[in-house]
Amino acid sequence: MATNLIVRNIGPEIAQALKEAAARHGRSAEAEHREILRAALARPARRTFKEVLAAMPDVGTDEDFNFRRA
């Protein structure tokens, strides 16, 4: 279901930047606006705790993390 969105009180420099970005990408200012919103609001896929731990680099030794060193 499509919904309309009206954005008011945009400064002329922002409007011009939007038009320039749209021209660079070969699309309308409206399509550029939709893409900016989609990219800004898209959520990356969630990783499991196990995946986050597996992605941590294996650096240092256990002694490097010992906070009770003499």
Tell me if 1 is assigned to some domain.
no
- pLDDT at position 70 is 59
* Residue whose pair of structure tokens reads 């400064």 in the numeric block: 11
Containing domain of residue 37, as a range? Answer: 12-65
How far apart are the C-alpha atoms of 49 and 3, rounded to whole Å?
A: 36
* Tens place of pLDDT per residue across the chain (70 aa): 889 989 999 999 999 999 999 999 999 999 999 999 999 999 888 899 999 999 999 888 888 878 776 5
Tell me if 70 is assigned to some domain.
no
Domain count for the chain, please give it. Answer: 1
Tell me if 23 is assigned to some domain.
yes
- pLDDT at position 53 is 92
How far apart are the C-alpha atoms of 7 and 41, rounded to whole Å?
A: 16
Tell me if 22 is assigned to some domain.
yes
- pLDDT at position 27 is 97
- pLDDT at position 35 is 95
